Each structure stands twice: as structure tokens, then as C-alpha cells.
Amino acid sequence: MFATRIAKFARHAASLMLHFAHGGLLVAGLVLTLFVASRIANHGVQGLSIESLTGSSQASISAVDEAAAEPEAEIIQAAEAVSPAKLSPDLQRVKTYVAKRYQVSAVALEPLLASAQQTGRSVGVDPLLLVAVMAIESRFNPFAESPMGAQGLMQVIPKFHPDKVDVKSDKSALFDPETNIRVGALVLKEYIQSTGSVERALQQYGGVGDPSAPYASKVMAVKAMLSQVARSGGRIVGA
């Protein structure tokens, strides 16, 4: 009877610990408490020693520690995976310039430039070229839409690029900055490869039908300015 009462008390204490537990240490204590209660119920109080309890429960506590460590590691990895890319010093200077030049919040620009940086590097297109296209096409408005149906930061026309974005299942896909920048970069990459020239690729991207190529000239002029900002520590010579 005494052993039964001890076992009931231990189970009650364990339930309270589970209710207030936070962290692997209290979980380990819970396991040890349940173990002690089980041993008392099965074998009685006499015959149990601290050494036997400690030795027998060590494996259980180790197992709890390992189980607790695994999800913690997964959480850290997941957090690192979704963390936004840090802007390079050059793009930090570009951000300051663009925010002032185009009257856009630097806070709002940060993820846009980070996406241009990451996408440009992965696709193989100069990130500053992507930023220059955004400046000309939308002035960094992710919700811009033209009468011709061009959408988002880089004014991508979805019906021309069904292989890169499925707007039938998600009509707002190109208003997502990351998606828009990725699709725009892929389009530019294809045009550069097919034409053999950045200028001709730009003209195909946004200036079809205009042989004088003002569109390409405007984008390249903005890119040259951004490059100067990046190299000169944010100072514009003659500005």
C-alpha cells in the first residue's frame, strides 16, 4: 500500500512537471521521476539505492537530451535558410542612393536589393543590371502594372513567359518581388545568350520595335550610375 501511494504521488508530481516544463532539463527530470515511480511500484522502496537509480536512468536521460537536440538543430537550420541575404557593401551604398533618388523607403528597398543580389548571382546576371531595369520599369513599385499587362518590379508580361511563371494558378505571382525578379532575370539571361549582347538583350526586353535603342541606353545609363555609386562609396562625382 505504501508503495502504491508513493507511485500515485510520483505520477501526480510528474503531471505537474509536464504542465510547467520548459526545456530539456525538466523533461529529463520528468523521465527520472516516472522511472523512480515505476521502480517503487514494482519492487518496493527497500532494495533501491541511489546508485542503482542513477545508473539505470542515465541512458533514459541521454536519450531525452539527444531527442531534444535534434529538433533544435532543425529549427536553427530552418531559420538560417529563410534568413534574408545580407547586402554587400556596394549594394548598401546603392540602397542609400536609390532611396534618395527615387524617393523610396530604404527599409522597403532592402529585401528588393537582396533578392536582386541573390538572384543575379545564381542566374548569372549582374545584380546592378537587375536594379537598373527595376528603376526604369517600375521605379521600385512591386505592384506596378502597365496597360499592356506587364506586371511588377521588372514589368514582366506573363503570357510571354508561361514556362517561367504559372499565373493561371496564381494570378498575383508576378507581384511577389522575389518571383518577379527571378523571372525577369531568367528572361534577360535568355536574351543575352540569344543576342550575344547586353544592350541588344535589353532592347528585346523592353524596347522592341524601336531601332534607335533608347530603352537600352536608359537602362545602361542607370546601371553606370549605380556602378559609380558602388565604387565611390556612395558619392556621385559632379552631382
Q: Give the sign of the dihedral formed by CA 208, CA 210, CA 216, CA 219.
A: negative
191 pLDDT band (50/70/90 cuts)?
very high
What pLDDT score was predicted for residue 97?
97
60-105 pLDDT, tens per residue? 445 435 544 444 444 334 434 444 579 999 999 999 999 999 999 9
Mean predicted lDDT score pLDDT of the chain: 76
What pLDDT score was predicted for residue 215?
94
pTM recorded for the entire structure: 0.64
Residue 68: count of CB within 10 angstroms of its CB: 14
What pLDDT score was predicted for residue 212?
72
Percent pLDDT > 90 in the chain is: 56
What pLDDT score was predicted for residue 18?
35
State the Cα–Cα distance between residues 150 and 168, nearest whole angstrom.
Answer: 15
* 102: nearest Cα among 128, 151, 137: 137
